[in-house]
Structure 1
Amino acid sequence: MKRILILLLLGSGIFSSCNFLETNPEDFVTPENYYKNEADMERALGGVYNRLIDQYGRMYSRGLYSFLVISDEFYYKGISINDLRVMDFDAGHLDINKLWEVIYSGIDRANLLLENINTPDMDDDRRNEIRGEALFLRAYYYFLLTDNFGGVPLKLASTKSPTEPYLPRTSVKDMYAFIVKDMREAETLVSDISAYNYNERITKTVVQAVLARVFLTMAGEPLKDVARYNDALTYADKVIASGRHSLNPDYKQIFINHSQDKYDIQECLWEVGMYGNQLGSVMLAGRVGLENGVECPDDEIGYSNGPLKPTGRIFKLYGEGDLRRDWAIAPYKYVVTAGVTSKSFYTPTQIYERTVGKWRREYELATPKSRGYSSTNFPVMRYSDVLLMKAEASNEVKGAPDADAYEAINMVRRRGYGKPVNVPDADADVPAGLDQEAFRQMVRDERGRELAFEGMRKHDLIRWGIYISNMQSLAVEAAAEAPSAYKYSANAAKNTTPRNVLFPIPSTELTVNHLVTQNPNW
C-alpha cells in the first residue's frame, strides 16, 4: 500500500543474507558483488530510509513523538517514578543507547551507498537523485544526533572493520556546517515532488523546508548564530514560492488521511511511511494512533490504552473557537457498557483525564486492526510548519512583523478556526500592531497549538532557550491545579534539570570509544 514500501522491504536486509548450506555461498551480499545496476541502488537507498523506522520504537514509529521528546505538552498515563517517561534515567538507559545505534546504522548505510554510487551502469539522472536522497538522509540523521546529543563523532566512511580507529566528538558548530553543506548539495540533486504522487521520498521542497528548520535551530540555542534567521527565511520562502504546497482547508482531515493511508502532498511535504501490523518478516509498522491515541478497549474500533495525556497548559493554550483543540486533544474516550462500546465525553473540567486525539483509530480502513501496531504514517514536515517558520524568521530578521509575516501565521490560524485561509477574519487573525517580542510569543504559542504532539515542542523550547524554565513552571502549575489523582503529571517536569537539554552520550559508546567525552552533569 505505501509507495516506498518496496524500497524498505528490499533494502532492510542488504548485506545480511547467506545460504549456510553451501561451502562457497553465491548469494552472500557484499559490496563487491552488489551495486550492479539501478535496482541494486534503489534497494540500497531503501536500506537508508529504513532506519527512520525502528521496530523497537526509537525512531518515528514511536519514540520521536513520545517518550524521547518529553516537554510541557503531555505526560504519561500511570507512570510516576523510575522511568525515562518521567525524566528519570541515566547514560545506560536502553532506549537512549538504541536511538544512538539506530541513527548511526542509517548513517553507515548512507556512507556505503555513497561510496558505491558510481559503480553501476545506470541512468545518470536517477543516479544523481539517489545520491541526493542519500546525502540528505545522512545529513538528517546527523541533525537528529546533534539536536539530541550535541556534538557527535562525524563518520563519513562506511564501517569496514571492527578494528577501525574511533573518532572524537565534532563540535556542534562544525556538525551544523556539515549538515547544511550536504543538504544544500542534495537540494540540487533530488526530484521535484511533482515526480511522485506520494510524499515518503525526499524531494526538493522537503530539503528546503528541513533546511529552514536547521537554520532556525542554528539561530537559537546553543549556537545563537542569529544571521541564520536570514537563511531560514530564504528557504521557507523557496517552499512557498514553489507553488507545490498549500494548507488542507480542514485541519482534522490531515490526520484522518494519515489513518486511512491516503496521501496529501499539498499539506504534508514529508511523511515516514509505515506498513502493516508488524507481523511476520515485515517490520515496518508503527504505533501512531496507539501510543498517541484515543482511549479505546474495542479492537474493532481500534485499541489504545491512551498513554499520552495532555497537560492543562496545552489545553488552555487554545483560544475560544479554535477547532484544533478538540481534535488534537480527544474530547471523549470509548467505554464498554453491557457489552456495547460507545463514546463517553469528558466534562469541561476533565482536562488531565483526556488523551491525545490527532490520529483516531476509528478512521483506519485496514482490517483486522492490531492491538500493538498500525500502518498510519507520521508527518515529519507539514506546510503549516513552513508558514510558521517564515513568520518567525521574518520577525527576527526585520525587527518587527511585516504584512507577509502576519499573513503566514494568519493563514494557519484561519484554518484552525474553520475559516477560509486567504480571507482576513477578525476572530482568527493575530491582532495588528504587535511589536517584535509580542509577535515572537504569538508565533511560539501558535506552533504549540498547530504542531501539538507532532514531536516538535521539545525541540522548539530548547532552541528558544526556555525548555528548562517551561518545565520548571509546569511542575508548579500541574502540582497546583491537577486533580489529586493526576498530581503525578508534574513528575517529568519536576525531574527536568539543565542537563536534560541534551541526552547523555550512551554508556555503550563511552565504554568502547575513549575519545568521546560525556555531556555535562551526566
Structure 2
Amino acid sequence: MKNRAVKYFLISLVGTLFLGCTDLEEDPVGILAPESLFKTPKDVQTAIFGAYGWIASERLYGRQFVTALLLRGDMADIGDRGTPAERQQVNDFNMDDNNNMVRQFWPYWYQTISAVNAAISGAEGLGLPENEGNPLIAEARFVRAFSYYHLVRTFGDIPYLDRFITDPTSVKDISKTSAATVYQNIIADLQFAKQWLPDQQPNSVRSRPSKGTAAAYLASVYLTLADYQKSYAEAKFVIDNEAKFGYGLVADFQDLFRAPEPNNLKEHLFAIDFLGQQNGGGGANDDIMPPMTGVRGADAPRSGWSVAVPSMAVYNTWDSRDYRKQVSFTDSILIKGILQPYTVFDNTKRPHIAKYARYAGNSNTEGRYSDHNYAAMRYAEVLLIAAEALTEVNGGPNAEAIGYINQIRSRARNWAGKQTSFPEDVNSGLSKDAFINLVLEERRLELAFEYKRWYDIKRRKLGQAAFTGPNSLEPHPNFDPNRDYLMPLPRIELQVNPNLGPQNPGY
C-alpha cells in the first residue's frame, strides 16, 4: 500500500518547500495551486500514502532517526567504534549543532508534515460530505501529530506548520513555536483523528491508523505531559474496546519480531511497514536496522555491522529466566558454519540486539531491505500506560493497575508454547513509588530496543540516575540535564533563518 505511493508525484513536489532549502531568496520555487494537485479523494490518499513512505525511509524508521533514539538511551551503546563520529556523538552526549544524523532526519520529518498538510488542504478543497472528507483529513492529521510528537520530544520548541505551503517565501522567516503550543496542536489533531477514523482500516491493516490508534497516542501524549487522568482515560478507552478494534497481546513474544509479520497483527496499533528487497529514491523503503544491530562477521543472512550493541550490564542484569531476554538478544551465532558465543564475536564481544536481525525476512545478505513491520505502538504499551497513569491518579497501585502488568508478564511466561513460572505476577502491597519504578522497569524490558527508552528517561528526568548513578547500565559522566534532554537544531537551519533561534541550551 504505502510503498506503491512512494513513486507518485506529490511528495517530491511539496516535501522540499520547507527547511533545508537554502536558496529561497535567490531562486524561489513558484507558487503552487492546491486545486491543480487534488482532483479526487484518491489524490488525497496518494499524498497520505506518500507520507508513510517518508516515515518508512532510511532517514527515519529505516535508520537515522530511530538509531539516534536507540543510542540516546541506556539500552544500546556503540559497538564498533569505527562507526561514523556522528553516531558516537549522539551516544556519548557530545554532539554539536552540525551533527549529521540530525541534519538528515530533521528535513524528512518536515517533508512528511508537508505531505499531509497538502493532503488536508486538498481534501478540504474537494467539498466532500463530512463522512467522506473528514476520515481522509483525520488520517492526515494523525500522521501530522505522529511527526510533531517525535519532533517536539527531540527538540523542544520547533517550527510548527499546519497548512499547505503554496508559496515557499511565506515561511522563509518563520520562528519557533513553544513546545506547549505544539503539544496542544498534537492533541487537537489526535482528538479529531479519534473522532473520524474508522474502528479498523480495510483488512485490519496496521500501517494505517484507526480510532484506537489515535486514542493510544493521546494516552501517550498525556502521559508525557503528566496529565495522568486523561492518559488513563484514553488508555482505558482502548482497553475497553479491544475487541471492536481487534487488539490484544500475541501469544508468543517472538512473533512480534519475525518478518514478515502479517499486516493485521493484533498487537500492532500502528506499524511502519517495510517491503522486502524493495527500495526507491531518497532512501525510501530502505530498512538498515537489521545490519546496524547485527553481528559483524556472522554468516549470512544474519551478518551485520555491530553499530548499536547493548552494554554487558544491560545483558547481565536481565534475568535469564525471562523469555523476552532470549528474544531480544543474540548471544551466539553461526560464524564460518560454527555456532560461536559472543565472547568470540569478531568485532564487538558482547551480546547483540536480535529483535531485527534474527528474522529479517525477505532481505539481502545483511538483513537490509527487510520485511519488518516495526511497531510504533503496541497493545502492550497501552497496558503499561494505563498501569502507570492509573497509579498516579490513585496515589498508589490498585488491582486494576496490577492486572495490566500481570497480563504482560503472563505472556512473557510463554516460551514458544512452553509455560514457565517467570516472571511472577506482581502482588499487592507495593507503595506508589515502588510500583511506578516497577512499571518503568517493565517498560524497559518489554519495549527494549523499540525506541521508547530515551523518551521514558526524558519524561521522568531519569538521565542522571541512568548515566551517572551507581547502577548505570551505560555510564556517561558528562551527561548534563541542562543540555542533553534536547538535541540541537541543525546549524544550517539557523544560518538560513536566524528567526529559528535561539539554539537549544548548551549547543
Q: By the TM > 0.5 criterion, same fold?
A: yes
Whole-Å separation in 1 of the counterparts to 2:321 and 2:94: 38
Q: Which amino acid aligns with 2:49?
A: G
Shift of 1:182: 1.3
- CA distance change for structure 1 residues 367 and 106 in 2, over 3 Å: closer, same or farther? closer
The answer for the alignment partner of 1:26 in structure 2 is none
Number of residue pairs matched by the alignment? 478
Shift of 1:94: 2.1
- CA distance change for structure 1 residues 296 and 275 in 2, over 3 Å: closer, same or farther? farther
The equivalences for 1:66-77 within 5 A come to 66-69=67-70, 70-77=72-79
Is the 1:328–1:356 contact (alpha carbons within 8 Å) kept by the matching residues of 2? Answer: yes
Shift of 1:68: 3.7
The equivalences for 1:26-41 within 5 A come to 31-41=34-44
The equivalences for 1:213-292 within 5 A come to 213-219=220-226, 228-243=227-242, 244-256=246-258, 259-279=259-279, 283-292=284-293
Alignment equivalent of 1:202, drawn from 202, 209, 214: 209
- CA distance change for structure 1 residues 215 and 13 in 2, over 3 Å: closer, same or farther? closer
Whole-Å separation in 1 of the counterparts to 2:385 and 2:420: 20
Shift of 1:135: 0.8
The equivalences for 1:506-521 within 5 A come to 506-516=490-500, 517-521=502-506
Q: Are 1:448 and 2:444 matched, yes or no? A: yes
Q: Secondary structure at 1:59's aligned position in 2?
A: coil
Shift of 1:6: 2.5
The answer for the alignment partner of 1:51 in structure 2 is 54
Q: Normalization by structure 2: what TM-score?
A: 0.86
Shift of 1:102: 1.1
Q: Secondary structure at 1:433's aligned position in 2?
A: coil
Shift of 1:87: 3.3
Q: Which amino acid aligns with 1:190?
A: L
Is the 1:254–1:264 contact (alpha carbons within 8 Å) kept by the matching residues of 2? Answer: no
Is the 1:276–1:374 contact (alpha carbons within 8 Å) kept by the matching residues of 2? Answer: yes
- CA distance change for structure 1 residues 521 and 428 in 2, over 3 Å: closer, same or farther? same
Shift of 1:404: 0.7
Q: Are 1:163 and 2:169 matched, yes or no? A: yes
Q: Which amino acid aligns with 1:446?
A: E
91-100 or 144-153: bigger deviation: 91-100
Is the 1:77–1:306 contact (alpha carbons within 8 Å) kept by the matching residues of 2? Answer: yes
- CA distance change for structure 1 residues 426 and 306 in 2, over 3 Å: closer, same or farther? closer
Q: Are 1:192 and 2:199 matched, yes or no? A: yes
Q: Secondary structure at 1:42's aligned position in 2?
A: helix
Whole-Å separation in 2 of the counterparts to 1:91 and 1:161: 28
Q: Are 1:144 and 2:150 matched, yes or no? A: yes
Shift of 1:367: 5.8
Q: Which amino acid aligns with 1:184?
A: Q
Whole-Å separation in 1 of the counterparts to 2:182 and 2:398: 33
Shift of 1:139: 1.6
Alignment equivalent of 2:113, drawn from 107, 112, 118: 107
Is the 2:158–2:176 contact (alpha carbons within 8 Å) kept by the matching residues of 1? Answer: yes
Shift of 1:346: 4.0
Shift of 1:242: 0.9
- CA distance change for structure 1 residues 320 and 94 in 2, over 3 Å: closer, same or farther? closer
The equivalences for 1:109-124 within 5 A come to 109-120=115-126
Q: Which amino acid aligns with 1:112?
A: A
Shift of 1:325: 0.8
Q: Which amino acid aligns with 2:40?
A: N
Alignment equivalent of 1:353, drawn from 343, 350, 354: 350
The answer for the alignment partner of 1:329 in structure 2 is 329
Identity of aligned residues (%): 25
Whole-Å separation in 2 of the counterparts to 1:99 and 1:280: 17
Q: Secondary structure at 2:494's aligned position in 1?
A: helix
Unaligned 5+ runs, structure 1: 18-28, 220-227, 479-488
Is the 1:10–1:46 contact (alpha carbons within 8 Å) kept by the matching residues of 2? Answer: no
Is the 1:58–1:64 contact (alpha carbons within 8 Å) kept by the matching residues of 2? Answer: yes
Whole-Å separation in 2 of the counterparts to 1:30 and 1:92: 35
Shift of 1:293: 3.1
Shift of 1:477: 5.3
Shift of 1:500: 1.3
Shift of 1:458: 0.5
Q: Are 1:10 and 2:8 matched, yes or no? A: yes
The equivalences for 1:165-180 within 5 A come to 165=171, 166-180=173-187
The answer for the alignment partner of 2:25 in structure 1 is none
Q: Secondary structure at 2:94's aligned position in 1?
A: coil
Q: Which amino acid aligns with 1:218?
A: L
Unaligned 5+ runs, structure 2: 16-31
Q: Secondary structure at 2:298's aligned position in 1?
A: coil
Whole-Å separation in 2 of the counterparts to 1:391 and 1:180: 21
Is the 2:285–2:369 contact (alpha carbons within 8 Å) kept by the matching residues of 1? Answer: no
Whole-Å separation in 2 of the counterparts to 1:134 and 1:354: 40
399-408 or 138-147: bigger deviation: 138-147
Whole-Å separation in 2 of the counterparts to 1:417 and 1:347: 28
462-471 or 452-461: bigger deviation: 462-471
Is the 1:288–1:376 contact (alpha carbons within 8 Å) kept by the matching residues of 2? Answer: no
Is the 1:129–1:190 contact (alpha carbons within 8 Å) kept by the matching residues of 2? Answer: yes
Whole-Å separation in 2 of the counterparts to 1:98 and 1:364: 25
The answer for the alignment partner of 2:81 in structure 1 is 79
- For the aligned residue pairs, the C-alpha RMSD in angstroms reads 3.1
Whole-Å separation in 2 of the counterparts to 1:123 and 1:334: 59
Whole-Å separation in 2 of the counterparts to 1:303 and 1:424: 32
